[in-house]
């Protein structure tokens, strides 16, 4: 009899301990979800006050289930099932407080806001049981973290309309439950894995560097844009070379004409250069004209008085015989 009572007492004690542990575990999870939402509100900028009804002075059961954008597993416990903050005009980085929503949350929709910086590498460590993740139409940049593969239950992954760069991680090939996928309108590049051949091409468009997969075409070739740039550069270079060659030719031709036209003895009339050539063969000497000695010792002074050369018979008065002529 005593043995049976002892066994019954021990069994009841185990049940009570298990119940208390369950209550403690559930309460800690509930407290974590409250901390998650509180941290989100404190971290983000909310210019439209869309989170104004997120008040934490209420401690009744299920009070967070009435918050805007929050859905719970049921109204009798504070366990967040999904968080839909689409088009709330929130800004900031994706809050680390999401890790406190932990193992309860299955849907996270932050689309059409102004979230910036990178997607946290730990996002699927924080929320490993996510079924739907939508971060589209934000200002997210940087690489897509390969660690998203840890969200192995994902059915939907939408990252479109951001500023993401790099390639689509090949690790995503392990997301066997994935049914909806979009990275459209980013800055991605590289080859699309064959894993994505079953998805629509619309989910990959708007990335000039992506190739293969649903987009079709071979990778490694030159894009139409790059080809057009190279052709335009070639045409411009050829045109510039032709203009330069023409300019050099014109300058050379024009400078040659100037040298010929501005030589010594050039002047008005057909005989302008004649007398200058004739002068080179004579020695300059002194002569007398109207009883005044005149000495012409340079062609410059001679050219100033052109009237002096009107008659060829005046040359002997001033100039002697040519140097190469022997006087008898």
Q: Please compute the mean of the pLDDT values over residues 213-237 and round it to a whole number.
A: 73
Domain boundaries of the chain, sorted by first residue: 17-219, 221-251, 274-322
Taking only the tens place, the pLDDT of each residue in 130-176 is 999 999 999 999 999 999 999 999 999 999 999 999 999 999 999 99
> Which of residues 113 and 293 earns the better pLDDT score?
113
Kindly state the percentage of the chain with pLDDT values over 70.
66
Average pLDDT score over the chain: 77
E strand map for the chain: 70-72, 80-84, 91-93, 107-109, 114-117, 132-134, 139-143, 156-158, 163-166, 180-182, 187-191, 209-211, 282-284, 287-289, 292-294, 319-322
- Residue 51, pLDDT score: 96
- Residue 231, pLDDT score: 79
Choose from 53-57, 246-250, 315-319 the range with maximum mean pLDDT.
53-57
Taking only the tens place, the pLDDT of each residue in 97-133 is 999 998 899 999 999 999 999 999 999 999 999 999 9
Instruction: Provide φ and ψ at 115, rounded to 5°.
Output: -65, 140
Tell me which CATH code domain 17-219 carries.
3.80.10.10
Is residue 306 scored above 70 in pLDDT? no
Taking only the tens place, the pLDDT of each residue in 3-34 is 554 544 444 444 444 333 333 333 444 588 99
Total-model pTM: 0.61
Q: For the chain, what is the total number of helices (H) and then of strands (E)?
A: 6, 16
């Amino acid at each position: 009899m005593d043995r049976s009572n002892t066994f019954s007492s021990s069994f009841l004690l185990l049940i009570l301990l298990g119940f208390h542990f369950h209550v403690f575990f559930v309460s800690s999870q509930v407290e974590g979800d409250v901390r998650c939402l509180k941290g989100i509100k404190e971290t983000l900028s909310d210019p439209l006050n869309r989170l104004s009804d997120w008040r934490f002075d209420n401690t009744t059961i299920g009070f967070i289930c009435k918050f805007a954008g929050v859905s719970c597993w049921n109204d009798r416990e504070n366990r967040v099932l999904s968080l839909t903050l689409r088009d709330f005009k929130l800004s900031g980085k994706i809050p680390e407080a999401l890790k406190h929503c932990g193992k309860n949350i299955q849907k996270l929709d932050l689309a059409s806001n102004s979230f910036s910086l990178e997607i946290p590498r730990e996002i699927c460590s924080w929320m490993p049981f996510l079924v739907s993740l939508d971060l589209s139409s934000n200002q997210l940049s940087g690489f897509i973290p390969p660690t998203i593969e840890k969200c192995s239950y994902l059915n939907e992954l939408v990252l479109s309309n951001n500023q993401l760069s790099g390639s689509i991680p090949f690790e995503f090939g392990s997301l066997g439950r994935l049914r909806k996928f979009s990275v459209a309108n980013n800055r991605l590049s590289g080859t699309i894995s064959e894993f994505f051949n079953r998805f629509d091409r619309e989910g990959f468009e708007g990335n000039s560097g992506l190739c293969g997969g649903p987009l079709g075409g071979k990778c490694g070739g030159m894009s139409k844009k790059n080809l057009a740039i190279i052709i335009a550069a070639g045409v411009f270079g050829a045109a510039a070379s032709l203009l330069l060659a023409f300019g050099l030719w014109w300058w050379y031709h024009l400078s040659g004409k100037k040298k010929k036209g501005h030589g010594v003895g050039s002047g008005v009339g057909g005989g302008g250069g004649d007398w200058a050539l004739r002068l080179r063969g004579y020695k300059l000497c002194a002569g007398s004209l109207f009883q005044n000695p005149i000495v012409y010792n340079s062609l410059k002074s001679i050219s100033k008085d052109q009237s002096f050369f009107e008659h060829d018979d005046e040359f002997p008065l001033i100039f002697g015989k040519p140097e190469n002529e022997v006087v008898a």
